[in-house]
Amino acid sequence: MEHFFRVNGVDKEDVKLYSFLALIGPFLYMKLKSVLSPTSSPEDKSYEDLVDQLVLHSFSPPPQTMQRFLFYTRNRSPDETLGSYILQLKLLCSFCDYPVPHGLTVVTTALVNAMIEIM
């Protein structure tokens, strides 16, 4: 949204608020209404407050155990490039909350296992 506001020269807070509410669609608007009710409505809050509320109630990360399961069960598909596979492993590992040295070891082990499977 910030890029949209910058490209369109939107700098007034009330214009940001109403543009945001018009662009998020009915599903997210109803979600905001349910989160804020009965004390207030989305129109009563600032743009930043609404974004914070959506992030707080919509994008909580899955449990660490589930993230680690997804990482360990990720297999390389036959038509997937090695670079793409490595990128996906790094992304999955970033959500596992491993300490940095251990996370690198885990990714390296997964890569070695994938290379063994190819041979």
Rounded to whole angstroms, how far apart are CA atoms 28 and 47? 14
Residue 60 confidence (pLDDT): 66
pLDDT of residue 103: 57
DSSP label of 60 = P
Give the per-residue pLDDT at 84: 87
Res 118: pLDDT: 56
Amino acid 116: pLDDT:
59
d(CA 62, CA 114): 25
Task: For tokens 């070891």, name the residue.
Answer: 105
Distance CA 56, CA 86 (A): 30
Distance CA 107, CA 71 (A): 9
Cα–Cα distances in Å, from 85 out to 32, 89, 104, 113?
Answer: 37, 6, 15, 12
d(CA 91, CA 101): 16
Query: Average pLDDT by consecutive 10-residue portion of the chain (119 residues)?
Result: 81 85 88 86 88 79 83 86 84 77 68 63
- Residue tagged 């996370």 (tokens): 103
Nearest to 17 by CA among 48, 47, 55: 47
Residue 119 is predicted with a pLDDT of 52
Q: What is the pLDDT of residue 100?
A: 63
